[in-house]
Structure 1
Amino acid sequence: MSRGEAIVAVLRRGDRLLAIRRGPGVVRPGYWQPLSGKIEPGESQREAVVREIREEVGLSAAPLAKVWESVTDDGTFRLHWWTADAPDGEVVPDPHEVGDFRWVTPEEFLALDPVFDGDREFFERVLPNLEP
C-alpha cells in the first residue's frame, strides 16, 4: 500500500507555537496538533507548508527547515515535519478544519488532551534538540 505524503507545520511565534484542535470537517476531530495537511500533486513540501498555513489559519508564514519525518499511527501518511515562522498577523481559523487554537509553549502542548502519539514524540524527543 502506498502512503500519502503530508506536511506538519510547527508554526512558531517567539517562544510559542500554534496548536489547533481538529475541526468537525476532518477525520478524528477533537485532537490537538500542529497544523498539517496533504501535499498536492506537483507541490513541493515548502509550498504545501505555506498553503496549508494560509488555508487553515489565514497566516502568511515562512517555512524554515524540514526537521523530522514520521508515519501516522494508522500508517496512511508519511509526515514531513517543518518549522515555520509567522511573526505577525491574526489567526483566522477555517471553521471546517480548525475547531479551536492556542499559542502554547512545548510544555503546554504536552498537557493538551487528546494528542497523537507521534506529536507527543516530536515535542518530547525532537523539538528540544532543534536549534532555537
Structure 2
Amino acid sequence: MEQRDAVVAVLLRGGRLLAIRRGPGVARPGYWQPLSGKVEPGETQEQAVVREVREEVGLTVVPEAKIWESETDDGRFLLHWWTARADAGEVVPDPDEVAETRWVTPEEFLALDPVFDGDREFFERILPGR
C-alpha cells in the first residue's frame, strides 16, 4: 500500500492553538487533534494547509514553517506538520468533519482525551523547542 502525504496545520493565535474534535463524517470520530487533511495531486503542502483549514473551519491562514514529519499510527499517511497563523476570523466548523473546536495551550491540548500518540509526541517534544 502506497503511503500518502497529508498535512497537519498547527494554527496559532495569541499563544494558543486550534484543537478540533473529529466529527461523525470522518474516520476515528471523537479524537482531539490539530487540523489535518490529505495533500491533493498537484498541490503543494502550503496549498493543502490553506485549503484544509478553509474547508474544515472557514479560516484563511498563512502557512509559516514545516517543523516536523511523522507517520499515522496505521502507516497510511506521512504527516507534514506546519505552523500557520490565523490572526483574524471566526471559526465556522464543517459539522461533518469537526464536532467541536477549542483554542488551547499546548498543555491544555495534552489534557484532552482521546488524542493520538503522534500528536501527544508533537506537543510534548517538538513544539516546546520552537
TM over 0.5: yes
**AA in 2 matched with 1:54:** R
1:78 corresponds to 2:101:
no
Partner of residue 12, structure 2: 12
TM-score, scaled to structure 2: 0.99
**AA in 2 matched with 1:73:** D
Partner of residue 100, structure 1: 100
| Structure 1 residue 84: Cα displacement | 0.1
**Residues 112-132 of structure 1: per-residue CA shift (max 9 Å, x gap):** 0000000000000000001xx
Partner of residue 113, structure 1: 113
1:57 corresponds to 2:62:
no
| Structure 1 residue 55: Cα displacement | 0.3
Partner of residue 29, structure 2: 29
| Structure 1 residue 2: Cα displacement | 1.4
Q: Any runs of at least 4 consecutive aligned residues in structure 1 with deviations exceeding 6 A, and if so which? A: none
**AA in 2 matched with 1:47:** Q
Structure 2 counterpart SS, 1:55 = helix
Mapped to 2, the partners of 1:14 and 1:62 lie a distance apart of: 15
Mapped to 1, the partners of 2:120 and 2:40 lie a distance apart of: 26
Fraction of identical pairs, as percent: 76
**AA in 1 matched with 2:59:** L
| Structure 1 residue 11: Cα displacement | 0.3
Partner of residue 38, structure 1: 38
User: How many residues are matched?
Assistant: 130
Mapped to 2, the partners of 1:124 and 1:2 lie a distance apart of: 29
TM-score, scaled to structure 1: 0.98
**AA in 1 matched with 2:124:** E
Structure 2, unaligned runs of 5 or more:
none
Structure 1, unaligned runs of 5 or more:
none
**AA in 2 matched with 1:113:** D
